[in-house]
Structures are given as structure tokens and as C-alpha cells.
Amino acid sequence: GIQVEQSPPDLILQEGANSTLRCNFSDSVNNLQWFHQNPWGQLINLFYIPSGTKQNGRLSATTVATERYSLLYISSSQTTDSGVYFCAVNGGATNKLIFGTGTLLAVQP
């Protein structure tokens, strides 16, 4: 099955700094999503981005499907950006999402 790797596993930033999170996947995919897991456990949708580039405020994402990776950019980070960021893909005819192991981001004031 498809393997999903995220890097870095942990990241500590000062408020105001920028960061880039990476997601590599081992095969072609139909769907790629980025999520932020809040402290209560809910997965918050950030981007649905099987290919191309999207922006939403201070966040943007780029997926290069032919090279099997996606990047999530966080600019001018805030303490509320802290938490775990997950990349998830599906590549078959099913709706099954395969998740990476996440990047734990801590933004310090």
C-alpha cells in the first residue's frame, strides 16, 4: 500500500517565524489533504490539494503529484498554530485515507 512520510517529526518555532512541513508519498494519489489536530483531538481541514497550489491566509500548500510530495507553509506563526499537522492521501478506488505520522509543531511566544 501507499506509504506516507512526514518531516520534520517535531518543530519548535518562535512566534512570527515561518515554517515548511513536508509530506512524501510512495505512489500516485487521487486525494491529498492537510489537517491540523486541535488539543481536543478534532482534525481540522486545512487543504484538499491533490495537485497544485492553494493559499488560505497565512497558510499555503503545494502538491507536486508527479514527484510525490506536498508542502505546507505556515507564515508569521502564532501560538494558536501549535498542534499536530497531518498529511493524508488516498490512491485507490476507495475513500480510505492513509495518514502520515504527523509533525508536532510548538510555537513559543
Partner 1 sequence: KAGVTQTPRYLIKTRGQQVTLSCSPISGHRSVSWYQQTPGQGLQFLFEYFSETQRNKGNFPGRFSGRQFSNSRSEMNVSTLELGDSALYLCASSFSGDEQFFGPGTRLTVL
Binding positions for partner 1, rule: CB under 8 A: 31, 33, 35, 40-45, 48, 86, 88, 94-99, 101-102
Measured distance CA(16)–CA(74) in Å, rounded: 10
In the complex with partner 1, the residue whose CB is nearer, 13 or 46, is 46
Q: What's the CA gap between 79 and 15, in Å, rounded?
A: 6
Q: Which is nearer to partner 1, 11 or 13 (CB)?
A: 11
Nearer to partner 1, 63 or 77 (CB): 63
Question: In the complex, what is the shortest distance from the CB of residue 45 to partner 1, in angstroms, rounded to a whole number?
Answer: 6
Distance CA 76, CA 57 (A): 10
Q: What residues pair up with 32 in beta bridges, in sequence order?
A: 89
Nearest distance from residue 30's CB to partner 1, in Å?
8
Question: For residue 77, how many C-alpha atoms fall within 13 Å in the half-sphere facing its CB?
Answer: 22
CB of 106 to partner 1, least distance (A): 18
